[in-house]
Amino acid sequence: MGPPESVAANPRAAVVTISRNINPRPCYRKIRQPLTRTAPRSPIRLVGRPRRPDDGPVTGRAEELAEPTPAGVLIPFYRDSTGALRLILIERTPHGRHGGQIALPGGKREPTDPTMRDTAVRETCEELGLTPDDCEVLRELAPVRTRSTGFVVWPFVARLRAVPARWQPQEREVAAVLDVRVDELADPSVAGEEEMDFPAWKIRQRVPVRRIAGHTVWGLTLRILEPVLPRALAGEYQV
pLDDT classification of 205: cutoffs 50, 70, 90: confident
User: What pairing do the DSSP bridges indicate for beta strands 106-108 and 151-160?
Assistant: unpaired
Of 197, 203, 224, 206, nearest to 59 by C-alpha is: 224
Query: What confidence score (pLDDT) does residue 200 get?
Result: 63
For the entire predicted model, the pTM comes to 0.73
Higher per-residue confidence, 122 vs 20: 122
Pick from 193, 180, 176, 196: nearest CA to 229:
180
Percent of the chain with pLDDT over 70: 69
What's the chain's Rg over C-alpha atoms? Answer: 17
Structure confidence at residue 129 (pLDDT) = 93
First to last CA, the chain: 7
Pick the closest to residue 84 from 22, 14, 13 (CA basis): 22
**Nearest 5°: phi and psi at 67?**
-130, 70
* Total Cβ atoms within 10 A of residue 186: 20
Cα–Cα distance for residue pair 232/219, rounded to 1 Å: 20
Residues 110, 70: Cα–Cα separation, whole Å: 9
Indicate the range of 45-54, 74-83, 139-148, 159-168 predicted with least confidence: 45-54
pLDDT at 178 over 50: yes
Which span out of 27-31, 60-64, 100-104 was modeled with the highest average pLDDT? 100-104
Task: Strands of 113-231 (E only): list them.
Answer: 135-140, 144-145, 151-160, 162-164, 174-181, 191-196, 205-212, 215-218
Contacts of 2 (CB under 8 A, 6+ apart): 79, 83
Mean pLDDT of the region 57-86: 78
Tell me the range of 5-14, 108-117, 196-205 where mean pLDDT is highest: 108-117
Please, which pLDDT band fits residue 4 given cuts at 50, 70 and 90?
Answer: low
| Kind plus residue range of the DSSP H or E element containing 54 | none
Residue 39 CB neighbour total at 10 angstroms: 16
> Would you say 217 and 229 are in contact if contact means Cβ atoms under 8 Å apart?
no
The predicted pLDDT at position 198 comes to 63
Complete domains list, the chain, with CATH: 5-43+58-178 (3.90.79.10)
Q: What is the pLDDT of residue 18?
A: 58
Instruction: Determine how β-strand 174-181 pairs with β-strand 191-196.
Output: unpaired
Overall average pLDDT of the 114-135 stretch: 96
DSSP-derived 3-state class of residue 229:
helix
